[in-house]
Structure 1
């Protein structure tokens, strides 16, 4: 079999997510970016500029775990620098409702009017699904793979013909996978039950789609008559697709500044069961959304979806087996200490929630063959404690599935000095430290995690 080398980097972005991996074999390369956001604009630009300087502008895959701003707000800089992807893998969500919830959070947590730059993340979300950065593939759970019209507002888009996008890598993918990943229409849906084995190489990519269901309170708000203008502006984003820009920003701003009578505002508050809140004068849609966000705590934790990605040796299926050596910048090896292993996989979990035993069971059942080969795991939600049960039993359950190894690495990509979040949580760090080396990739450049994996022969 051909010799494989893999270089993996978790970039020092602070509170966010930015992982790059380059696989090489037979003189060719296969590149993957998992999430692209967080930190400051200056920090994101410096990281992306360094990537542009080191590698060609055409990359293979961009994988987005979820649509939080700190996981996607570096994509605009990628576009500015000319980086394009053959495919963009996305979580299966209702796009219009997801954008609506993003707006609710932006409005609810902002003081006064919304600046245009605050709308950049929702514009990026629409462009991701419309194919602006690469051919979009939506990953859905195996037990409920819907048709191509299941993702709201994508079925009316024009044919996808991005002639300037790089083609799927023919050297690493079989003809069948090349065809599957080069859809003629936007919004192609792929089941997460199908692992993507690289052709004649012992390397596999396996997704896990933790599905997102719109809370009923969100569906109720979406249908309020006073928000008709906002609904139309959001639908315009999905339908404008790659052309969405100033037109979308103007439409959202106009919708937010639309006046709402006292009677209509109070009717909306009553219909939404927003406590005892009332208004005594005419207000704007912007002010109404702020009040709703304040009165309805269910709107604050809207992101339960997450697209996870395993990258490593084949756990189940695949072709011939290979053995690997792994080196990491976080571990000091003794001179001459070299050993062969198959436990060199990487697993990104985004903001995956394992709050219930059933959540953990579904995750472990899906990744049963891969978890025992995982040497580096990105702790969900930057090391938050809220992604597990109150006793952290599901955290123990997750870590129990990983291989017992002195080199097991558990990474929290976060900024401990963040004024609001202060991830990773001490309880999570203390528990994880019993299983392996816990490392916080933060805003300090020295915290960047680098790994190299080389196959035998």
Structure 2
């Protein structure tokens, strides 16, 4: 079994109402004697979302956060994964700035994860912008930018991040088994004993740091696992019929060119949007496959990042000192869960996430983001209680204390967390929330 030390450095960048998280995990194998061969440290770098504010142009605070983040990556280095939770502007309107900053430092992006946006969802989401535009709060440039992303996300991401592989993650229902050591196999880049490499499985869905061993065993050390919530429109025969009437062909035959043509017809998208809203008014939330509402939040790609057992994170690192003497003597669980704007309010929707990720991963979550900027309509104790070692929840919002109505985060969410002795960090402008961990395996 691989033995060594890892360090984790992660930050929820303070950009107010938006989303911008980065992590770096580094592994250094243990050198047991002066003659033993030990490879160089191996790292995995992850970025989750990049946006702030609801318009096409991000809020000014995001530019500074991006500058601070890229300086944590060595010049000429690599970001192994850029994961996009969903295509709402406050989560993606900083991608141009991010791409330019990475290019300026010759930093490449290896892979992009994004949720699949079906033709129905794309039509509805752009229709939402058209309805908002009638109030004068949405510019045509914002609509055009979103329509391009909705119609052909691959073209948009390839242009911004040359060389990156895009994996469009479909809604998850099947359990993701824990990675296991694979004897007598060779992982690309892992050819020698005690040599580590960052890899993805054959589907591109799971990122791993794996280590070679003296017995040719590929030993998984760290994993990044996606969970895509089911769309609020999924399984709706009525919506499918409406969409096929609008498109003029079966949805399965709708190409990106067809979709782009349809998205250019504002009257059409408004009509479709109205039909879907009418359908939603007659469909109770409990009967939907997701608690998410409408707009761009139909489906969200959540991401789990954490170690593969065994790790000694649950033991005292600084000796058996009472908590009153040294409150930090119990280390935080090293796993992290990014939730985007997922609707994780009802027990059935939380259970759907458990079914995919498994209780073992959720047991290792020490830090999580609050779904949908701390909205009371997307999380409550049902979610927090399935992560028994959760210590910190980050909230990507502009209000520093919690509020009501349309101002996030909601006081009720903050109170739910306080009642469970879970700390809260609200990532208002320039209030970066960073955490780190060092572990031995």
Q: What is the TM-score with the length of structure 2 in the denominator? A: 0.69
Aligned-partner Cα distance in 1 for 2:316–2:409: 26
1:370 corresponds in structure 2 to 361
C-alpha contact (below 8 Å) 1:310/1:348 kept by paired residues: yes
Aligned with 1:415 (options 389, 393, 398): 398
- Residue in 1 that maps onto 2:421: 436
Measured in 2, the distance between the counterparts of 1:456 and 1:217 equals 54
Q: Tell me, yes or no, if the aligned pair for 1:374 and 1:402 is still in contact at 8 Å.
A: yes
* Residue in structure 2 matched with residue 303 of structure 1 by the alignment: 297
Structure 1 pair 23/302, CA: closer, same or farther in 2 (3 Å)? closer
Question: Which residue of structure 2 aligns with residue 455 of structure 1?
Answer: 439
Note if contact 1:13-1:441 (Cα within 8 Å) is conserved in structure 2: no
**2:333 matched residue in structure 1:** 343
The question of 1:70 aligning with 2:70 is answered no
CA contact (8 A) 2:123 2:272 kept: no
* Aligned counterpart, 1:120: 145
Unaligned runs of 5+ in 1: 146-167, 182-187, 239-247, 258-283, 328-332, 389-394
Q: 1:12 to 1:235 in 2, by over 3 A?
A: same
Structure 2 unaligned residues grouped into runs of 5+: 29-40, 177-187, 212-218, 282-292, 318-322
User: Per the alignment, in what secondary structure is the counterpart of residue 407 of structure 2?
Assistant: coil
1:219 matched residue in structure 2: 240
1:189/1:217 CA distance change after superposition, 3 Å: farther
- The CA deviation at 1:21 is 0.3
Superposed CA deviations along residues 286-319 of structure 1, whole A, max 9, x for unmatched, are 76568668867658456342222221222xxx5x
Which of 21, 42, 49 is residue 35 of structure 1 equivalent to? 49
- Aligned partners of 2:304, 2:20: CA distance in 1, in Å? 15
Among 367, 376, 381, which residue is 1:396 paired with? Answer: 381
Q: Separation in 2 of the partners of 1:237 and 1:437?
A: 48
1:215-294 to 2 correspondences below 5 Å: 215-216=236-237, 218-225=239-246, 235-236=256-257, 255-256=264-265, 284-285=267-268, 288=271
User: Residue 277 of structure 1 corresponds to which residue in structure 2?
Assistant: none
State the 1:73 CA deviation. 1.6
**Post-superposition shift, 1:204?**
2.6
Residues 213-239 of structure 1: CA distance to partner in whole angstroms, max 9, x if unpaired?
2645543443345889xx99982288x
Please name the residue that 2:70 is paired with.
52
Give the C-alpha shift of residue 104 in structure 1. Answer: 0.8
Q: Distance in 2 between matches of 1:126 and 1:326?
A: 51
C-alpha contact 1:30 1:169 (8 A) present in aligned 2: no
| Kept after mapping to 2: 8 A contact 1:324/1:456 | no
Task: State the shift of 1:138 in Å.
Answer: 3.1
3-state SS of paired residue (2:424) = strand
Hey, what's the Cα distance between the residues in 2 that align with 1:442 and 1:237?
40
Specify whether residues 198 and 444 from structure 1 end up closer, same or farther in structure 2 by C-alpha distance, changes over 3 A only. same
Which secondary structure state, in structure 2, belongs to the residue aligned with residue 424 of structure 1? Answer: coil
Secondary structure, counterpart of 2:24 in structure 1? strand
**Mapping for residues 182-193 of structure 1, pairs under 5 Å:** 190=205
Aligned to 2:285: none
Deviations 1:370-420 (Å, cap 9, x if unpaired)?
Answer: 2222111111111111125xxxxxx32322233357xx1122211238997
* Alignment match, 1:102: 125
Partner of residue 174, structure 2? 143
What is the distance in 1 between the residues matched to 2:316 and 2:165? 32
SS at match of 1:45: helix
CA contact (8 A) 1:326 1:452 kept: no
Distance change (3 Å), C-alpha of 1:144 and 1:21? closer
CA distance in 1, matches of 2:189, 2:113: 15
TM-score by length of 1: 0.67
Deviation of 1:211 after TM superposition, in Å, equals 2.2
Contact 2:262 2:268 in 1 (8 A): no
Cα distance change of structure 1 residues 297 and 313 upon mapping to structure 2, 3 Å threshold: same
**Contact 1:376–1:410 under 8 Å retained in 2:** yes
Among 203, 218, 225, the alignment partner of 1:206 is 225
Q: CA deviation at 1:210?
A: 1.7
String of CA shifts for 1:339-370, please: whole Å, max 9, x gaps: 35472211112222234322222323433002
Name the counterpart of 2:216: none
Structure 1 stretch displaced more, 121-130 or 38-47:
121-130
The answer (yes or no) to whether the contact 1:9–1:21 under 8 Å persists in 2 is yes
Aligned residues between the structures? 364
C-alpha contact 1:415 1:443 (8 A) present in aligned 2: yes
Q: Give 1:208 shift.
A: 1.9
Structure 1 CA distance for aligned equivalents of residues 79 and 207 of structure 2: 20
